[in-house]
Amino acid sequence: MENKPNNPNELNIELSAEVAEGIYSNLAIISHSTSEFVLDFVRIMPGTPKANVKSRIILTPEHAKRLLFALQDNVAKFEQQFGKIKTPENTMMPPIPMGFGGEA
């Protein structure tokens, strides 16, 4: 028997156990063309001169803007509940986390 949504505009989204575990990333590289935005999620590890892209998401410009709005909304809600998120000198572009734990 099919699980049909109650509302014709409702979307059933499935999340596999593997995807639910997530992928840790401490750097995002964003690039774009006239037709798409590319978000590369990277994990940088201390003492390792090379870092690999762990996940790549490709979005249309419209979806990229929706993601921007959703992130802004969620960051505002987070900060309202837990306080302002601290970044170095409150810059929009924090340094790449190369040092880890005070390394130079």
pLDDT greater at residue 46 or residue 93:
46
Residue 81's Cα: distance from chain center in Å? 20
Q: What is the predicted pLDDT for the residue at 88?
A: 76
Residue 76 scores a pLDDT above 60? yes
pLDDT confidence tier of residue 47, bands split at 50, 70 and 90: confident
Please provide the average confidence, as pLDDT, over all residues in the chain. 86
pLDDT at 70 over 60: yes
pLDDT of residue 103: 42
What CA–CA distances, in Å, run from 7 to 12, 15, 96?
11, 20, 45
Work out the average pLDDT over 35-49: 93
Q: How many angstroms from the chain centroid is the CA of residue 75?
A: 12
Query: What backbone torsions phi and psi does residue 41 show, to the nearest 5 degrees?
Result: -105, 125
Domain spans of the chain?
22-90
For position 104, what pLDDT does the model report? 39
**pLDDT of residue 91 exceeding 50:** yes
| Token pair 């690039």 in the structure block, residue | 31
Is residue 40 within 8 Å of residue 23, measured between CB atoms? no
- Separation between Cα atoms, residue 52 and residue 50, nearest integer Å: 7
- The 8-class DSSP code of residue 71 comes to H
pTM (predicted TM-score): 0.73
DSSP SS3 for 9: coil
